[in-house]
Structure 1
Amino acid sequence: MNIYATQVAAEWVDYNGHMNDAAYARVFSLACEALINHIGLDEAGREHFGYTLYTLETHLCYRREAHQGQSLSVDLTLLDSDAKRLHVFFAMRDAEGNLLATSEQMLMGMQPTTGRPSPLPSPVAHRVATLPQADKDAWPELAGRTIGIRR
Structure 2
Amino acid sequence: MTMERRAPVFFFAPFVSSAMQVEPAWIDYNGHMNMAYYHVLFDRALDEGLGLVGLGRGYLEERKASFFVAETHALYKRELTARDRVRVTLQLVDYDEKRIHSYMEIRHEEDGWVAATLETLSLHVDMVTRKVSPFPDDIAANLAVMRAAHARLAKPQALGRIIGIPARSELHETLAASGTRH
- Give the TM-score taking structure 1 as reference length: 0.92
Where 1:24 maps in the other structure, the secondary structure is helix
Choose from 102, 122, 131 the match for 2:137. 122
Question: Separation in 2 of the partners of 1:54 and 1:127?
Answer: 18
Instruction: Give the CA deviation at 1:47.
Output: 2.2
Choose from 120, 123, 145 the match for 1:105. 120
Of 110-119 and 29-38, more deviation after overlay is shown by 29-38
Size of the aligned set, in residue pairs, is 150
Question: Separation in 2 of the partners of 1:12 and 1:4?
Answer: 19
**Is residue 36–residue 53 contact of structure 1 (8 Å, CA) maintained in 2?**
no
**Is residue 46–residue 90 contact of structure 2 (8 Å, CA) maintained in 1?**
no
Paired AA for residue 23 in structure 2? A
Question: Separation in 1 of the partners of 2:151 and 2:25?
Answer: 34
Paired AA for residue 70 in structure 2? L
Who is 1:21 aligned against?
A: 35
Choose from 20, 25, 32 the match for 2:46. 32
Who is 2:150 aligned against?
A: 133
Of 70-79 and 41-50, more deviation after overlay is shown by 41-50
Q: Point out the structure with the larger helix share.
A: 2
Choose from 56, 67, 84 the match for 2:98. 84
Instruction: Give the CA deviation at 1:5.
Output: 2.5
Who is 1:147 aligned against?
A: 163
CA-to-aligned-CA distance 1:41-76 (integer Å, 9 cap, x gap): 222222222211011101110000011111111001
Q: Which protein has the larger Cα radius of gyration, Structure 1 or Structure 2?
A: 2
Which residues of structure 2 form unaligned runs of 5+? 1-14, 168-182
Over aligned residue pairs, what C-alpha RMSD do you find? 1.6
CA-to-aligned-CA distance 1:105-124 (integer Å, 9 cap, x gap): 00000101111111111221
Where 2:150 maps in the other structure, the secondary structure is coil
**Is residue 74–residue 119 contact of structure 2 (8 Å, CA) maintained in 1?**
yes
Paired AA for residue 149 in structure 1? I
Paired AA for residue 138 in structure 2? P
- Give the TM-score taking structure 2 as reference length: 0.77
Which residues of structure 1 form unaligned runs of 5+? none
Q: Point out the structure with the larger strand share.
A: 1
Question: Separation in 2 of the partners of 1:15 and 1:87?
Answer: 34
Where 2:17 maps in the other structure, the secondary structure is strand
Amino-acid identity (%)? 34
1:5 matched to 2:19: yes
Question: Separation in 1 of the partners of 2:152 and 2:134?
Answer: 24
